Amino acid sequence: MALVLGTNCGFVTNAPTGDPAGNAYECDSIAWAGKDTAPVGAIKVTEIGWWCDTATEEANFEVGIYDHNVVDDEPEAVVGDLSQTNAKGTDAGWKRVTGLNIPITASTIYWMAFQLDDTATKTRGDYGSLADSKFVERYPNVTSLLNPWETNYGSYDNLMPAIYAVYETVAQLTEGFLEVMGITTPTSAHVGDTINFTIHTQNTGSVDNFKVELSGDLTGSQEFSLGAGLTKDVPFSFIMPYTDVSITINTYHLTEDGDWVWDTSSVWGVNKWK
């Protein structure tokens, strides 16, 4: 397998498992970083890993995400926090740090980096050719990732190290809607009674401006704001007429274009006492 952005290097949705089969090069006492653009919808990095091509002695490694220095085309400042205490182990394979919570912005250039302490036997990582990518390194005798990155001692266009960052995206809610969860009201009343009834609603979407509108024997409407997932009791009242009452309850949400879009309808009635 070759190095492929989005699969075994750069930003990925799932951590890779196979050998990337790139070019092996020594990486102990060195810091490596590779450049990639955060995908649409990405909001945070939860895992960073790098490919260790050789079985060598135990050593500590660090990982982190850096923002982009557009002038020098290199890493700049650490984003969030570095993870600085991680055991490499003594076998070859992917070396991973999970449980991270590093905030990122979609469609923005970042650098994913790792640093490995010295091993008596030279440890090798992998890199490969990738158009429009970039691989930078700091050496020799590098003992930690720095903030800011500082000067590169190696900079290679169209190459990418075998480093990945698992990202998460924002949960995608539907645009609407306002759902009617229930109605509290009497089912019958005498003529002239004041009828108070409450419509129990919940925002099950992502927008937050809504309207409840009555049609049928009685009319009326209320507009209000309500955050995603929240509930609201919407009260109405009327005087019981000489006939049975049938009401249609309609809910609407307001789009970004300023249009009211229908969500749901419910029919409700009150019988007049004989």
Burial class (CB in 10 A: 0-12, 13-18, 19+), 256: exposed
pLDDT band at 190 (very low <50, low <70, confident <90, very high): confident
pLDDT at residue 173, rounded to an integer: 43
To the nearest whole percent, how much of the chain has pLDDT over 70? 96
**pTM (2 d.p.):** 0.65
Which tokens is 48 given? Answer: 């960073």
Of residues 6, 117, 95, 1, the one with CA closest to residue 51 = 95
Which string of DSSP letters, residue by residue, matches 69-99? ETTTTEEEEEEEEEEEEEE--SS-EEEEE-S
Cα–Cα dist 175/45, whole Å:
26
- What fold, for 178-272? Immunoglobulin-like (2.60.40)
The contacts of residue 171 (CB under 8 Å, 6+ apart) are: none
The contacts of residue 102 (CB under 8 Å, 6+ apart) are: 44, 45, 46, 64, 65, 79, 80, 81
pLDDT per position as a tens digit, 22-56 = 999 999 999 999 999 999 889 999 999 999 999 99
C-alpha distance across the termini of the chain, in Å? 82
Domain ranges of the chain: 10-169, 178-272
Cα–Cα dist 204/253, whole Å:
11
Of residues 35, 46, 24, 27, the one with CA closest to residue 115 = 27
Cα–Cα dist 185/194, whole Å:
11
